[in-house]
């Protein structure tokens, strides 16, 4: 099969096995180039481990900290007629490289929201690892079937209280357009909290605790994004914002649970990057394209793996010369990895260019080409080391 990208809006329906392997290797090589991370975790559970920040966390733990990892994700298997999902190929590549390095790596494919997958994961940890000292929660799903009620909730990307209109970027046509979004209903807000809030994270820590699988000093982190001025109405102040508030509630509840283990729970507030999830959020592709241009000009741009490596090395496990932990949190207890993005001069430049950007000056004013390249890389396309004209078997 000759595999090429098939893009529909914010989705790419194909993925390239060799390209995904090249993407995983690129991230591994970056982590290795930064050297070992002292005092890192030994046994790590990553929930949502196949793409984005979850995959970057697994790579950083394994190749930066020499950690044994168990990853949970829900990915599409390949067949003779269609490719698997990018996350499927990422996981296969990661496991191969981890095992070649002599480090334990195992994965479970299934719905992480379900009790069945949670139970299977618990049994695998008991059998292979024993108590874990880091739990990474990095699920970005548009829907969730509740394990107790069986009801399926779907999240929405909508403002609250009033209609929202703004510039947006049609990535298919490379055109600036205006988008108008009606406000979310009360039920839509509640459903978004059900899907993207902190309840499932709590259920995982509760299950691990009851099974005696939380090691002394265990840390857990969930990733979040707060947004900046152009995205506030549908992000921080929108339906997703309510889910983020629930994550903060869950952080406090999980902290109370972990106190008896001398552990802690954190929210990691990350920078805006190109992911499958962010590509689906109206306004975000334009904001990210502008942001990338400015941060690259200032030489402070970070992608996913750079963010997570810095998080592990200088926050979660960093220590100063006296041996004191370097974890710094804001007033809400969040670790701010969006510090470069939110520098006042960066945000002022974004706002200035936001007002000026049009379809005709898009390529000049933004890093849309960089956005497109990063999007394709998510699915294994655009790597010079890969022969995309080669006939390959999609089944891996």
Residue 388 DSSP one-character state:
T
- Options 235, 266, 287, 371, the catalytic residue: 235
Cα distance between residue 156 and residue 168, in whole Å: 17
Contacts of 361 (CB under 8 A, 6+ apart): none
Cα distance between residue 22 and residue 384, in whole Å: 9
Rg (C-alpha) for the chain, rounded Å, is: 20
Q: How many CA atoms lie within 13 A of 105 on its CB side?
A: 25
Residue 235 among the catalytic residues: yes
How many degrees, rounded to 5, is the angle at CA 165 between CA 170 and CA 168? 20
Query: In which element (H, E) is residue 107 found?
Result: strand 105-109
Cα distance between residue 306 and residue 218, in whole Å: 23
Residues 118/106, Cβ–Cβ less than 8 Å: no
**3-state secondary structure labels for all residues of 306-350:** HHHHHHHHHHHCCECCCCCECCCCCCCCEEECCCCCCCHHHHHHH
Residues 381/19, Cβ–Cβ less than 8 Å: yes
Kindly list the catalytic residues.
235
């Amino acid at each position: 099969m000759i595999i090429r990208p098939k893009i529909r809006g914010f989705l790419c329906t194909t993925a390239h096995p060799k390209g995904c392997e090249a993407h995983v290797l690129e991230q591994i090589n970056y982590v290795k180039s930064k050297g070992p991370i002292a005092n890192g975790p030994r046994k790590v559970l990553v929930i949502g481990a196949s793409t984005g920040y979850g995959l970057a966390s697994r790579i950083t733990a394994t190749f930066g900290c020499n950690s044994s990892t168990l990853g949970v994700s829900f990915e599409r298997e390949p067949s003779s007629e269609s490719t698997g999902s990018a996350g499927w190929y990422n996981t296969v590549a990661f496991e191969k490289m981890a095992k070649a390095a002599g480090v334990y790596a195992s994965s479970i494919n299934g719905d992480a929201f379900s009790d069945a997958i949670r139970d299977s994961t618990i049994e695998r940890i008991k059998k292979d690892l024993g108590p874990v000292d880091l739990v990474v929660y990095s699920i970005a799903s548009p829907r969730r079937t509740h394990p107790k009620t069986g009801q399926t909730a779907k999240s929405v990307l909508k403002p609250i209280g009033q209609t929202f209109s703004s510039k947006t970027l049609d990535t298919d046509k490379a055109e600036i357009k205006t988008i108008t979004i009606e406000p979310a209903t009360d039920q839509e807000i509640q459903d978004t909290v059900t899907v993207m809030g902190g309840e499932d994270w709590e259920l995982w820590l509760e299950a691990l605790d009851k099974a005696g699988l939380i090691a002394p000093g265990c840390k857990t982190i969930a990733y979040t994004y707060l947004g900046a001025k152009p995205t506030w109405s549908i992000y921080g102040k929108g339906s997703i914002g309510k889910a983020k508030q629930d994550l903060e509630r869950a952080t406090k509840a999980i902290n109370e649970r972990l106190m008896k283990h001398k552990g802690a729970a954190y929210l990691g507030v990350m920078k805006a990057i190109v992911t499958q999830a962010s590509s689906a959020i109206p306004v975000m592709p334009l904001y990210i394209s502008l942001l990338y241009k400015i941060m690259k000009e200032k030489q402070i741009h970070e992608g996913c793996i750079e963010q997570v490596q810095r998080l592990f090395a200088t926050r979660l496990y960093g220590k100063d010369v006296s041996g004191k932990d370097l974890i710094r949190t804001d007033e809400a207890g969040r670790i701010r990895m969006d510090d470069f993005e939110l520098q006042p001069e960066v945000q002022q430049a974004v706002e200035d260019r936001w007002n000026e950007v049009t379809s005709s000056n898009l390529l000049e004013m933004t890093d849309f080409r960089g956005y497109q390249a990063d999007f394709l890389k998510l699915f294994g396309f655009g790597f010079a080391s890969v022969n995309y004209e080669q006939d390959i078997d999609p089944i891996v």
